[in-house]
Amino acid sequence: MIYYLCFILFLIGLYGVCCKKNVVKIILGLWIMEYSVNLFLILLGYRKNGIPPIMSKEMDVIEFYKKAVDPLPQAMVLTSIVIGLGVLALMVTVAIRLYQRYGTFDITEMKKLKG
Amino acid sequence: MIEIVIGVLLVFMIIGSIICLETRDLLSAIIAIVPVGYFCGIIYLLLGAPDIAITQMVVEVLSLIILIRATIRRDLTTIEEERDFFGLVSTFALIFVFFIFGMEAMRHLPPFGTPSFTLNPSAPSNRYLMMGLKETGAGNIVSSVILDYRGYDTLGEATILFTSILGALALLRVYARKRGKK
């Protein structure tokens, strides 16, 4: 059921990207999609009653292996979140330049390259 | 139990994102997306991923600063009318098709609570969990993965981050260099 809720969140982001006219709203839609994808990957790696993949001194390796959640999606999502921040900065920069050029955030007003 | 808590938090995330996309004021929209990210961080904490929860909180604050930079002192006119009818219909058709395929794909996933590395003995996570402390000397398996086993991946991440910030700076430069003149 949780997977379905996560998928609904992704669809809301897709709706924002496709239907909105404001550039900032489109950026926010992409950002929501990124949240849902990252969350979905972490949800896939969860183990029931799992512990974080951090080993303490008094813990045995076999017991740790039986209880820990999946560390690989966590490492990949850590990379993905930071990359998302860089991409967001780039998108916001493009939006600011478009505002300086056209004086509005409305994408239907930007017709210089329309062909 | 944990499924119910995560489900409630996800419903809050969905409500927050709908408010964010449907509100008139741009500044309110940007502020409405911040709780969505904080709920996301709480869910990461519940799912046993404290490293990602910390990163998510920091990234959330930074993204708020970046997004406010985009809208502050701008003409915040609200754009009310939606796209034309044909565009709207084709968009909803796209979303519907996506929904059907997604539902079909969700049926083949393993149930919540059984990660795929327990089903597949040759998955790399088995080796990371068993041999991580012995091979890399790091008690935190996530940091041993990102800094040792998959170090080139982190190098690529740093490259992408550097390139995107370079692109942002190049786009924000006020005076373009004139050709042929000093």
Q: What is the pLDDT of residues A14-40, one digit of tens each?
A: 988 888 888 888 999 999 999 999 999
Q: Which DSSP category does A107 fall into?
A: G
Query: What residues of chain B, 67 to 106, have a C-beta less than 8 Å from chain A?
Result: 67, 69-71, 74-75, 77, 79, 81-83, 88, 91, 94-95, 98-99, 102-103, 106
Please report the pLDDT score of residue B75 as a whole number: 61
Are the Cβ atoms of A87 and B10 closer than 8 angstroms? no
pLDDT tops 80 at residue B181: no
Q: Give me the residue spans of the domains in chain A.
A: 2-109
- DSSP calls for A49-104: T-B-SB--TT--HHHHHHHBPPHHHHHHHHHHHHHHHHHHHHHHHHHHHHHHHHSS
Mean pLDDT within B29-47: 90
CA distances to A43, A83, B169 from B87, rounded to whole Å, are 34, 31, 34
Q: Give me the residue spans of the domains in chain B.
A: 1-73, 120-174
SS3 B105: helix
Q: Does A107 lie at the interface with B, CB-CB under 8 angstroms?
A: no
Residue B72's Cβ-count burial label (10 Å; 0-12, 13-18, 19+) is exposed
- DSSP-assigned beta bridge partners for residue B140: A54
Are the Cβ atoms of B124 and A72 closer than 8 angstroms? yes
B17 pLDDT band, cuts 50/70/90, is very high
Q: Which residue of A has its CA nearest to B152?
A: A79
Please report the pLDDT score of residue B18 as a whole number: 92
Mean pLDDT within B137-149: 86
Q: Which residue of B has its CA nearest to A33?
A: B17
A24, amino acid identity: V
pLDDT tops 80 at residue B73: no
Please report the pLDDT score of residue B42 as a whole number: 92
pLDDT tops 60 at residue B97: yes
CA distances to A44, B49, B146 from A51, rounded to whole Å, are 15, 9, 19
Which of B44, B98, B106 comes nearest A4 by C-beta?
B106
When mean pLDDT is compared across A99-113, B11-25, B78-92, B123-137, the lowest value belongs to B78-92
Mean pLDDT within B106-112: 84
Which of A7, A69, A94 comes nearest B102 by C-beta?
A7
ipTM rounded to 2 decimals = 0.88
Q: Does A21 lie at the interface with B, CB-CB under 8 angstroms?
A: yes
CATH number belonging to the domain at A2-109, selected among 3.90.1860.10, 1.10.10.10, 1.10.287.3510, 1.10.357.10: 1.10.287.3510
Predicted confidence (pLDDT) per residue in A46-90, tens digit: 888 888 888 887 878 888 888 888 888 889 999 999 999 999 999
Q: Does B150 lie at the interface with A, CB-CB under 8 angstroms?
A: yes
Are the Cβ atoms of A2 and B172 closer than 8 angstroms? no
Q: Which residue of A has its CA nearest to B54?
A: A78
Predicted confidence (pLDDT) per residue in B56-67, tens digit: 999 999 999 988
Higher pLDDT, A104 or B102: B102
